[in-house]
A and B are shown apart, each in its own frame.
Chain A
Amino acid sequence: MKIVEGNFYSKDHEWVKIDGKEAFVGISDHAQDSLGDIVYVELPDVGDEFDKGEAFAVVESTKAASDVYLPVAGKVVEVNEALDDAPELINEDAFANWIAKIELSGDADTSDLMDAAAYKEFCENE
Protein backbone atom coordinates (compact mmCIF):
# COMPACT_ATOMS: atom_id res chain seq x y z
CA MET A 1 0.00 0.00 0.00
CA LYS A 2 1.31 3.39 -1.01
CA ILE A 3 1.15 6.38 1.35
CA VAL A 4 2.55 9.79 0.42
CA GLU A 5 4.50 11.79 3.02
CA GLY A 6 3.40 15.38 3.55
CA ASN A 7 -0.31 14.73 2.92
CA PHE A 8 -2.96 14.68 5.60
CA TYR A 9 -5.37 11.76 5.76
CA SER A 10 -8.93 11.37 7.03
CA LYS A 11 -10.48 8.36 8.73
CA ASP A 12 -12.67 7.99 5.61
CA HIS A 13 -9.51 7.48 3.53
CA GLU A 14 -9.35 10.82 1.73
CA TRP A 15 -6.01 12.56 1.33
CA VAL A 16 -5.44 16.32 1.21
CA LYS A 17 -2.31 18.10 0.13
CA ILE A 18 -2.27 21.66 1.46
CA ASP A 19 -0.28 24.33 -0.34
CA GLY A 20 -0.82 27.80 1.13
CA LYS A 21 -4.47 28.76 0.55
CA GLU A 22 -5.09 25.87 -1.79
CA ALA A 23 -5.44 22.15 -1.42
CA PHE A 24 -5.68 19.09 -3.64
CA VAL A 25 -8.02 16.32 -2.49
CA GLY A 26 -8.34 12.69 -3.50
CA ILE A 27 -8.85 9.19 -2.12
CA SER A 28 -6.02 7.06 -0.78
CA ASP A 29 -4.39 4.05 -2.38
CA HIS A 30 -5.94 1.94 0.38
CA ALA A 31 -9.39 3.31 -0.55
CA GLN A 32 -9.02 2.57 -4.27
CA ASP A 33 -7.76 -0.91 -3.47
CA SER A 34 -10.76 -1.62 -1.23
CA LEU A 35 -13.23 -0.27 -3.81
CA GLY A 36 -11.83 -2.29 -6.70
CA ASP A 37 -12.19 -1.24 -10.34
CA ILE A 38 -13.48 2.33 -10.35
CA VAL A 39 -16.01 2.85 -13.12
CA TYR A 40 -17.37 6.32 -12.45
CA VAL A 41 -16.43 9.50 -10.59
CA GLU A 42 -19.08 12.10 -10.00
CA LEU A 43 -17.16 15.37 -9.80
CA PRO A 44 -18.40 18.51 -8.04
CA ASP A 45 -18.99 21.72 -10.02
CA VAL A 46 -16.39 24.44 -9.98
CA GLY A 47 -17.62 27.13 -7.57
CA ASP A 48 -19.37 24.67 -5.23
CA GLU A 49 -18.62 25.33 -1.57
CA PHE A 50 -18.45 22.62 1.06
CA ASP A 51 -18.09 22.42 4.79
CA LYS A 52 -15.46 20.24 6.34
CA GLY A 53 -16.69 16.65 6.30
CA GLU A 54 -19.34 17.25 3.63
CA ALA A 55 -19.69 14.81 0.69
CA PHE A 56 -18.32 16.60 -2.38
CA ALA A 57 -17.83 13.76 -4.89
CA VAL A 58 -18.84 10.14 -5.44
CA VAL A 59 -16.55 7.33 -6.50
CA GLU A 60 -18.24 4.23 -7.88
CA SER A 61 -16.82 0.77 -8.37
CA THR A 62 -18.81 -2.13 -9.78
CA LYS A 63 -19.68 -3.09 -6.21
CA ALA A 64 -20.98 0.21 -4.82
CA ALA A 65 -21.16 4.00 -4.85
CA SER A 66 -19.07 5.68 -2.14
CA ASP A 67 -19.27 9.29 -1.05
CA VAL A 68 -16.03 11.23 -0.84
CA TYR A 69 -15.90 13.71 2.03
CA LEU A 70 -13.96 16.95 1.97
CA PRO A 71 -11.34 16.83 4.76
CA VAL A 72 -11.08 20.66 4.84
CA ALA A 73 -13.68 23.36 4.23
CA GLY A 74 -13.47 25.31 1.00
CA LYS A 75 -14.56 26.14 -2.52
CA VAL A 76 -13.92 23.99 -5.59
CA VAL A 77 -11.71 25.94 -8.02
CA GLU A 78 -10.82 23.10 -10.36
CA VAL A 79 -11.85 19.49 -10.94
CA ASN A 80 -9.81 16.70 -12.51
CA GLU A 81 -11.76 16.36 -15.73
CA ALA A 82 -9.60 13.48 -16.91
CA LEU A 83 -11.54 11.31 -14.44
CA ASP A 84 -14.71 11.87 -16.45
CA ASP A 85 -13.49 9.67 -19.27
CA ALA A 86 -10.93 7.63 -17.36
CA PRO A 87 -12.08 6.99 -13.77
CA GLU A 88 -9.65 4.06 -13.63
CA LEU A 89 -6.81 6.57 -13.33
CA ILE A 90 -7.55 6.54 -9.59
CA ASN A 91 -6.82 2.80 -9.51
CA GLU A 92 -3.58 3.40 -11.36
CA ASP A 93 -2.34 6.18 -9.07
CA ALA A 94 -4.65 7.47 -6.38
CA PHE A 95 -2.26 10.23 -5.30
CA ALA A 96 -1.35 11.66 -8.71
CA ASN A 97 -5.03 11.67 -9.69
CA TRP A 98 -6.62 14.19 -7.38
CA ILE A 99 -10.36 14.76 -7.59
CA ALA A 100 -10.67 18.49 -6.85
CA LYS A 101 -8.57 21.54 -6.16
CA ILE A 102 -9.95 23.54 -3.26
CA GLU A 103 -9.57 27.15 -2.19
CA LEU A 104 -9.49 26.92 1.59
CA SER A 105 -11.95 28.91 3.70
CA GLY A 106 -9.52 30.41 6.19
CA ASP A 107 -6.87 28.27 7.80
CA ALA A 108 -7.33 24.55 7.26
CA ASP A 109 -8.40 22.67 10.38
CA THR A 110 -6.24 19.55 10.34
CA SER A 111 -6.63 18.70 14.03
CA ASP A 112 -8.62 15.53 13.32
CA LEU A 113 -6.53 14.45 10.30
CA MET A 114 -3.57 12.07 10.34
CA ASP A 115 -0.07 12.38 8.96
CA ALA A 116 1.39 9.60 6.79
CA ALA A 117 2.79 7.59 9.71
CA ALA A 118 -0.43 7.75 11.74
CA TYR A 119 -2.52 6.87 8.67
CA LYS A 120 -0.34 3.87 7.91
CA GLU A 121 -0.97 2.58 11.43
CA PHE A 122 -4.69 3.38 11.10
CA CYS A 123 -4.97 1.27 7.93
CA GLU A 124 -3.05 -1.61 9.44
CA ASN A 125 -5.40 -1.70 12.42
CA GLU A 126 -8.57 -1.40 10.38
Chain B
Amino acid sequence: MGKLLRSALFEVYERYGGNVVDFAGWEMPVEYEGLVPEHNAVRNAAGMFDVSHMGQITVEGKDAEAFMQYMVSNDVAAAGDHQIQYTHFCRPDGGIVDDFLIYKYNKDRYLLIVNASNVDKDFAWVNENKGDFDVKLENLSDQYSAIALQGPKSEEILQQLTDIDLSAMKPFRFQDGVTVNGAKALVSRNGYTGEDGFEIYLGNDDVVALWDKLYEVGKDKGLVPAGLGARDTLRFEANLPLYGNEMLDDISPLEASLGYFVKLDKEADFIGKEVLKKQKEGALSRKIVAFEMKGKGIPRHGYDVLADGKVVGFVTTGYTSPTLGKNIGKAMVPIEYAKIGTPLQIQVRKKAVDAEVVSAKFLG
Protein backbone atom coordinates (compact mmCIF):
# COMPACT_ATOMS: atom_id res chain seq x y z
CA MET B 1 0.00 0.00 0.00
CA GLY B 2 1.27 3.47 -0.86
CA LYS B 3 0.75 6.62 1.11
CA LEU B 4 -2.81 7.26 2.24
CA LEU B 5 -4.69 9.84 0.20
CA ARG B 6 -6.36 12.92 1.64
CA SER B 7 -9.22 14.86 0.10
CA ALA B 8 -9.17 18.65 -0.09
CA LEU B 9 -11.61 18.52 2.84
CA PHE B 10 -9.15 16.77 5.13
CA GLU B 11 -8.65 19.85 7.26
CA VAL B 12 -12.36 20.19 8.05
CA TYR B 13 -12.55 16.74 9.68
CA GLU B 14 -10.64 17.92 12.72
CA ARG B 15 -12.41 21.27 12.91
CA TYR B 16 -15.77 19.46 12.96
CA GLY B 17 -14.68 16.75 15.40
CA GLY B 18 -14.20 13.91 12.92
CA ASN B 19 -12.63 10.62 13.93
CA VAL B 20 -10.34 9.70 11.02
CA VAL B 21 -9.68 6.12 9.84
CA ASP B 22 -8.16 4.43 6.79
CA PHE B 23 -10.74 3.66 4.12
CA ALA B 24 -9.98 2.36 0.61
CA GLY B 25 -6.56 4.01 0.71
CA TRP B 26 -7.96 7.29 2.01
CA GLU B 27 -7.86 8.97 5.40
CA MET B 28 -11.54 9.65 6.00
CA PRO B 29 -13.83 10.38 8.98
CA VAL B 30 -15.79 7.37 10.22
CA GLU B 31 -17.92 9.64 12.42
CA TYR B 32 -18.10 13.10 13.97
CA GLU B 33 -20.58 13.30 16.86
CA GLY B 34 -21.45 9.62 16.50
CA LEU B 35 -22.78 7.15 13.95
CA VAL B 36 -26.33 6.89 15.30
CA PRO B 37 -27.03 10.63 15.77
CA GLU B 38 -25.61 11.26 12.27
CA HIS B 39 -27.75 8.46 10.81
CA ASN B 40 -30.87 9.89 12.46
CA ALA B 41 -30.05 13.43 11.33
CA VAL B 42 -29.98 12.25 7.69
CA ARG B 43 -33.32 10.42 8.08
CA ASN B 44 -35.00 13.37 9.80
CA ALA B 45 -33.22 16.55 8.66
CA ALA B 46 -29.90 16.50 6.76
CA GLY B 47 -26.30 15.35 6.83
CA MET B 48 -23.27 16.33 4.77
CA PHE B 49 -20.63 13.82 3.67
CA ASP B 50 -17.24 14.29 2.05
CA VAL B 51 -17.41 12.06 -1.04
CA SER B 52 -14.31 13.45 -2.72
CA HIS B 53 -12.75 9.99 -2.66
CA MET B 54 -15.17 8.79 -5.34
CA GLY B 55 -13.55 8.50 -8.79
CA GLN B 56 -14.47 10.38 -11.96
CA ILE B 57 -13.84 8.87 -15.37
CA THR B 58 -15.01 10.58 -18.56
CA VAL B 59 -15.89 8.90 -21.83
CA GLU B 60 -16.21 11.16 -24.87
CA GLY B 61 -16.23 10.82 -28.63
CA LYS B 62 -18.32 9.75 -31.58
CA ASP B 63 -18.37 6.09 -30.48
CA ALA B 64 -19.08 6.93 -26.83
CA GLU B 65 -22.58 5.47 -26.82
CA ALA B 66 -21.56 2.28 -28.60
CA PHE B 67 -18.59 1.89 -26.27
CA MET B 68 -20.72 2.38 -23.15
CA GLN B 69 -23.31 -0.09 -24.46
CA TYR B 70 -20.53 -2.66 -24.90
CA MET B 71 -19.02 -2.00 -21.47
CA VAL B 72 -22.05 -1.91 -19.16
CA SER B 73 -25.04 -4.12 -18.44
CA ASN B 74 -27.69 -1.39 -18.26
CA ASP B 75 -29.13 0.27 -21.40
CA VAL B 76 -27.35 3.60 -21.74
CA ALA B 77 -29.43 4.54 -24.78
CA ALA B 78 -32.58 4.47 -22.64
CA ALA B 79 -31.30 7.32 -20.47
CA GLY B 80 -32.09 10.88 -21.51
CA ASP B 81 -29.57 13.71 -21.61
CA HIS B 82 -28.61 14.94 -18.13
CA GLN B 83 -29.98 11.77 -16.62
CA ILE B 84 -28.10 9.50 -14.21
CA GLN B 85 -28.15 5.72 -14.57
CA TYR B 86 -26.93 3.04 -12.15
CA THR B 87 -25.00 0.18 -13.76
CA HIS B 88 -22.14 -2.34 -13.62
CA PHE B 89 -19.02 -3.24 -15.49
CA CYS B 90 -19.05 -7.05 -15.70
CA ARG B 91 -16.30 -9.48 -16.53
CA PRO B 92 -16.80 -12.07 -19.30
CA ASP B 93 -17.71 -14.56 -16.52
CA GLY B 94 -20.39 -12.18 -15.19
CA GLY B 95 -18.48 -11.08 -12.06
CA ILE B 96 -18.74 -7.40 -11.19
CA VAL B 97 -15.70 -5.19 -11.88
CA ASP B 98 -17.45 -2.23 -10.27
CA ASP B 99 -20.84 -0.63 -9.78
CA PHE B 100 -21.22 3.05 -10.56
CA LEU B 101 -23.37 5.90 -11.82
CA ILE B 102 -23.30 7.14 -15.39
CA TYR B 103 -23.93 10.86 -15.77
CA LYS B 104 -25.08 11.16 -19.38
CA TYR B 105 -24.48 14.62 -20.88
CA ASN B 106 -25.53 13.39 -24.31
CA LYS B 107 -24.87 10.32 -26.44
CA ASP B 108 -21.28 11.44 -27.06
CA ARG B 109 -20.29 12.36 -23.51
CA TYR B 110 -20.49 10.51 -20.18
CA LEU B 111 -19.12 11.01 -16.68
CA LEU B 112 -18.76 7.87 -14.56
CA ILE B 113 -18.73 8.20 -10.77
CA VAL B 114 -16.96 5.08 -9.54
CA ASN B 115 -15.89 3.56 -6.22
CA ALA B 116 -12.71 5.01 -4.69
CA SER B 117 -11.24 1.56 -4.19
CA ASN B 118 -11.79 0.67 -7.86
CA VAL B 119 -10.70 3.80 -9.74
CA ASP B 120 -7.44 2.34 -11.03
CA LYS B 121 -9.03 -1.02 -11.84
CA ASP B 122 -11.89 0.67 -13.70
CA PHE B 123 -9.66 2.99 -15.68
CA ALA B 124 -7.47 0.05 -16.70
CA TRP B 125 -10.63 -1.93 -17.58
CA VAL B 126 -12.06 0.70 -19.94
CA ASN B 127 -8.67 1.14 -21.59
CA GLU B 128 -8.15 -2.62 -22.04
CA ASN B 129 -11.51 -2.89 -23.76
CA LYS B 130 -11.33 0.27 -25.84
CA GLY B 131 -10.30 -1.59 -28.99
CA ASP B 132 -11.25 0.33 -32.13
CA PHE B 133 -13.92 2.47 -30.49
CA ASP B 134 -13.31 6.13 -31.23
CA VAL B 135 -13.46 7.46 -27.67
CA LYS B 136 -11.33 9.58 -25.37
CA LEU B 137 -11.03 8.21 -21.83
CA GLU B 138 -9.84 10.33 -18.94
CA ASN B 139 -9.42 9.74 -15.24
CA LEU B 140 -10.24 13.09 -13.61
CA SER B 141 -10.49 11.78 -10.05
CA ASP B 142 -7.79 14.12 -8.73
CA GLN B 143 -9.50 17.21 -10.09
CA TYR B 144 -12.87 16.93 -8.38
CA SER B 145 -13.97 17.25 -4.79
CA ALA B 146 -17.52 16.49 -3.78
CA ILE B 147 -20.02 16.88 -0.98
CA ALA B 148 -23.14 14.73 -0.63
CA LEU B 149 -25.95 16.63 1.09
CA GLN B 150 -28.56 14.09 2.14
CA GLY B 151 -31.87 14.16 3.98
CA PRO B 152 -35.35 15.72 3.71
CA LYS B 153 -34.05 19.25 4.40
CA SER B 154 -31.41 19.10 1.66
CA GLU B 155 -33.25 21.12 -0.96
CA GLU B 156 -34.17 23.87 1.47
CA ILE B 157 -30.55 24.13 2.63
CA LEU B 158 -28.84 24.02 -0.76
CA GLN B 159 -31.33 26.43 -2.34
CA GLN B 160 -29.85 29.20 -0.19
CA LEU B 161 -26.54 28.86 -2.02
CA THR B 162 -27.60 28.67 -5.65
CA ASP B 163 -29.78 30.53 -8.17
CA ILE B 164 -30.99 27.47 -10.06
CA ASP B 165 -34.44 26.24 -9.07
CA LEU B 166 -33.68 22.99 -7.27
CA SER B 167 -37.35 22.10 -6.91
CA ALA B 168 -37.40 21.68 -10.71
CA MET B 169 -34.59 19.12 -10.63
CA LYS B 170 -35.94 15.57 -10.63
CA PRO B 171 -34.26 12.61 -8.92
CA PHE B 172 -31.39 11.11 -10.94
CA ARG B 173 -30.90 14.28 -12.97
CA PHE B 174 -27.93 16.63 -12.96
CA GLN B 175 -26.88 20.06 -14.15
CA ASP B 176 -23.29 21.07 -14.84
CA GLY B 177 -21.85 24.58 -14.84
CA VAL B 178 -24.12 25.66 -12.00
CA THR B 179 -22.96 28.34 -9.54
CA VAL B 180 -23.04 27.16 -5.94
CA ASN B 181 -21.71 29.45 -3.22
CA GLY B 182 -20.02 31.49 -5.94
CA ALA B 183 -18.15 28.54 -7.47
CA LYS B 184 -18.72 26.52 -10.65
CA ALA B 185 -20.18 23.11 -9.82
CA LEU B 186 -22.04 20.07 -11.06
CA VAL B 187 -25.17 19.40 -9.01
CA SER B 188 -27.09 16.13 -9.12
CA ARG B 189 -30.17 14.98 -7.26
CA ASN B 190 -29.29 11.58 -5.91
CA GLY B 191 -27.38 9.90 -3.14
CA TYR B 192 -26.62 6.78 -1.22
CA THR B 193 -28.85 7.00 1.83
CA GLY B 194 -32.42 6.34 0.69
CA GLU B 195 -33.28 10.00 1.33
CA ASP B 196 -33.72 12.94 -0.98
CA GLY B 197 -30.47 14.79 -1.51
CA PHE B 198 -27.83 16.24 -3.78
CA GLU B 199 -24.25 15.65 -4.72
CA ILE B 200 -22.19 18.72 -5.50
CA TYR B 201 -19.00 18.22 -7.52
CA LEU B 202 -16.59 21.10 -7.72
CA GLY B 203 -12.93 22.07 -7.84
CA ASN B 204 -10.61 21.18 -4.98
CA ASP B 205 -10.02 24.88 -4.21
CA ASP B 206 -13.70 25.63 -3.67
CA VAL B 207 -14.84 22.71 -1.55
CA VAL B 208 -13.79 23.87 1.92
CA ALA B 209 -15.66 27.17 1.54
CA LEU B 210 -18.76 25.27 0.41
CA TRP B 211 -18.57 22.86 3.34
CA ASP B 212 -18.36 25.71 5.87
CA LYS B 213 -21.12 27.68 4.16
CA LEU B 214 -23.47 24.70 3.96
CA TYR B 215 -23.01 24.09 7.65
CA GLU B 216 -23.56 27.76 8.43
CA VAL B 217 -26.87 27.93 6.53
CA GLY B 218 -27.99 24.39 7.44
CA LYS B 219 -27.18 23.85 11.08
CA ASP B 220 -30.37 25.53 12.34
CA LYS B 221 -32.34 23.10 10.18
CA GLY B 222 -30.62 20.13 11.78
CA LEU B 223 -27.75 19.63 9.32
CA VAL B 224 -24.77 17.75 10.75
CA PRO B 225 -21.47 16.55 9.29
CA ALA B 226 -21.68 12.77 8.79
CA GLY B 227 -19.03 10.09 8.37
CA LEU B 228 -18.52 6.79 6.64
CA GLY B 229 -20.16 4.87 9.49
CA ALA B 230 -23.55 6.50 8.96
CA ARG B 231 -23.07 6.35 5.18
CA ASP B 232 -22.88 2.58 5.46
CA THR B 233 -25.86 2.06 7.80
CA LEU B 234 -27.99 4.45 5.75
CA ARG B 235 -27.26 2.79 2.41
CA PHE B 236 -27.74 -0.65 3.96
CA GLU B 237 -31.18 0.13 5.41
CA ALA B 238 -32.17 1.60 2.04
CA ASN B 239 -31.32 -1.71 0.32
CA LEU B 240 -28.39 -0.17 -1.57
CA PRO B 241 -25.45 -2.50 -2.22
CA LEU B 242 -21.77 -1.80 -1.54
CA TYR B 243 -18.89 -3.01 -3.67
CA GLY B 244 -16.68 -5.27 -1.52
CA ASN B 245 -19.75 -6.50 0.42
CA GLU B 246 -22.66 -7.33 -1.88
CA MET B 247 -20.54 -7.14 -5.02
CA LEU B 248 -17.17 -8.64 -5.90
CA ASP B 249 -15.19 -9.83 -8.92
CA ASP B 250 -16.81 -13.25 -8.48
CA ILE B 251 -20.38 -12.12 -7.82
CA SER B 252 -22.64 -11.28 -10.77
CA PRO B 253 -25.35 -8.58 -10.69
CA LEU B 254 -28.00 -11.32 -10.82
CA GLU B 255 -26.42 -13.10 -7.86
CA ALA B 256 -26.33 -9.73 -6.09
CA SER B 257 -30.13 -9.45 -6.70
CA LEU B 258 -29.52 -6.45 -8.97
CA GLY B 259 -31.08 -7.99 -12.07
CA TYR B 260 -33.30 -4.95 -12.53
CA PHE B 261 -30.24 -3.06 -13.77
CA VAL B 262 -29.18 -5.77 -16.24
CA LYS B 263 -30.82 -5.24 -19.62
CA LEU B 264 -30.38 -8.55 -21.42
CA ASP B 265 -32.85 -7.48 -24.08
CA LYS B 266 -30.83 -4.48 -25.23
CA GLU B 267 -29.60 -4.91 -28.77
CA ALA B 268 -25.92 -4.41 -28.15
CA ASP B 269 -23.68 -7.18 -26.96
CA PHE B 270 -21.97 -6.32 -23.71
CA ILE B 271 -19.21 -7.94 -21.70
CA GLY B 272 -20.65 -10.75 -19.59
CA LYS B 273 -23.99 -10.90 -21.45
CA GLU B 274 -23.82 -14.60 -22.34
CA VAL B 275 -23.17 -15.78 -18.79
CA LEU B 276 -25.77 -13.43 -17.33
CA LYS B 277 -28.29 -14.69 -19.87
CA LYS B 278 -27.71 -18.27 -18.79
CA GLN B 279 -28.05 -17.29 -15.14
CA LYS B 280 -31.32 -15.54 -15.93
CA GLU B 281 -32.58 -18.59 -17.80
CA GLY B 282 -32.25 -20.77 -14.73
CA ALA B 283 -28.57 -21.35 -14.08
CA LEU B 284 -28.49 -19.02 -11.08
CA SER B 285 -27.26 -21.14 -8.16
CA ARG B 286 -27.08 -18.51 -5.42
CA LYS B 287 -28.23 -15.00 -4.62
CA ILE B 288 -28.18 -12.31 -2.00
CA VAL B 289 -31.18 -12.20 0.32
CA ALA B 290 -32.21 -10.06 3.25
CA PHE B 291 -32.70 -11.63 6.67
CA GLU B 292 -33.79 -10.70 10.15
CA MET B 293 -32.41 -12.20 13.34
CA LYS B 294 -34.92 -14.14 15.42
CA GLY B 295 -32.52 -14.88 18.27
CA LYS B 296 -30.11 -12.56 20.06
CA GLY B 297 -27.03 -11.48 18.16
CA ILE B 298 -25.92 -8.93 15.63
CA PRO B 299 -24.96 -10.19 12.17
CA ARG B 300 -21.74 -8.76 10.75
CA HIS B 301 -20.01 -8.74 7.36
CA GLY B 302 -18.22 -12.06 6.83
CA TYR B 303 -20.12 -14.20 9.36
CA ASP B 304 -21.08 -17.72 8.23
CA VAL B 305 -24.67 -18.54 7.31
CA LEU B 306 -25.93 -22.01 8.23
CA ALA B 307 -28.91 -24.01 7.04
CA ASP B 308 -29.80 -27.61 7.81
CA GLY B 309 -26.80 -27.70 10.16
CA LYS B 310 -24.11 -26.78 7.65
CA VAL B 311 -22.41 -23.64 6.37
CA VAL B 312 -24.19 -22.56 3.18
CA GLY B 313 -23.27 -18.91 2.75
CA PHE B 314 -21.91 -15.68 4.20
CA VAL B 315 -23.20 -12.39 5.55
CA THR B 316 -22.45 -9.50 3.18
CA THR B 317 -23.63 -6.71 5.51
CA GLY B 318 -25.33 -6.75 8.91
CA TYR B 319 -26.25 -4.25 11.58
CA THR B 320 -28.58 -3.30 14.34
CA SER B 321 -30.64 -0.99 12.16
CA PRO B 322 -30.58 2.47 13.77
CA THR B 323 -33.94 3.34 12.22
CA LEU B 324 -35.75 0.07 12.97
CA GLY B 325 -33.91 -1.14 16.05
CA LYS B 326 -33.85 -4.66 14.57
CA ASN B 327 -30.87 -6.88 13.85
CA ILE B 328 -30.92 -7.35 10.09
CA GLY B 329 -28.57 -8.29 7.30
CA LYS B 330 -27.88 -9.37 3.75
CA ALA B 331 -26.39 -12.75 2.93
CA MET B 332 -25.30 -14.78 -0.07
CA VAL B 333 -27.13 -18.15 0.04
CA PRO B 334 -27.86 -21.04 -2.33
CA ILE B 335 -30.99 -20.39 -4.36
CA GLU B 336 -32.94 -23.09 -2.48
CA TYR B 337 -32.65 -21.02 0.71
CA ALA B 338 -33.54 -17.68 -0.89
CA LYS B 339 -37.34 -17.70 -0.44
CA ILE B 340 -38.89 -15.29 2.04
CA GLY B 341 -39.67 -17.14 5.26
CA THR B 342 -36.82 -19.66 4.92
CA PRO B 343 -35.17 -20.33 8.29
CA LEU B 344 -31.40 -19.73 8.43
CA GLN B 345 -28.86 -19.49 11.21
CA ILE B 346 -26.07 -16.97 11.55
CA GLN B 347 -22.86 -18.04 13.28
CA VAL B 348 -22.28 -15.25 15.81
CA ARG B 349 -18.96 -16.21 17.39
CA LYS B 350 -19.67 -19.51 19.23
CA LYS B 351 -23.44 -19.49 18.79
CA ALA B 352 -25.59 -20.33 15.80
CA VAL B 353 -28.42 -17.80 16.10
CA ASP B 354 -31.79 -18.24 14.36
CA ALA B 355 -32.67 -15.92 11.49
CA GLU B 356 -35.26 -15.80 8.71
CA VAL B 357 -35.23 -14.61 5.11
CA VAL B 358 -37.32 -11.42 4.80
CA SER B 359 -38.12 -8.78 2.18
CA ALA B 360 -35.14 -6.55 1.37
CA LYS B 361 -37.41 -3.49 1.63
CA PHE B 362 -36.37 -3.00 5.24
CA LEU B 363 -37.84 0.50 5.46
CA GLY B 364 -41.12 -0.62 3.81
Contact = CB atoms under 8 A, between A and B. Distances in A.
Interface of A: 36-37, 39-40, 42, 58, 60-65, 84
B322 interface: yes
A40 B298 contact: yes
Interface in B313-347: 319-320, 322, 327
B35 interface: yes
A48 to B, nearest CB: 11
A63 to B, nearest CB: 5
Contacts of A65: 298, 300
Given A40-B327, A65-B298, 15 more contacts: A36-B31, A36-B34, A37-B36, A39-B298, A40-B296, A42-B297, A42-B349, A58-B349, A62-B35, A62-B229, A62-B233, A62-B319, A63-B31, A63-B229, A84-B296
Contact of A63 (B30, B297, B327): B30
A40 B349 contact: no
Range for the number of chain B residues in contact with chain A: 10 to 19
Given A39-B320, A40-B320, A42-B349, A60 B34 contact: no
A60 B30 contact: no
Contacts of B31: 36, 63
Q: Chain B binding site: helix, strand, loop or mixed by DSSP? A: mixed
Interface in B68-92: none
A61 B39 CA distance: 14
Nearest to B36: A37
Interface of B: 30-31, 34-36, 39, 229, 233, 296-298, 300, 319-320, 322, 327, 349
Contacts of A61: 35
Contacts of B322: 62
Contacts of B233: 62
A106 to B, nearest CB: 27
A37 B31 CA distance: 12
Contacts of B319: 62
Nearest to B320: A39
A36 B349 contact: no
A107 B349 CA distance: 31
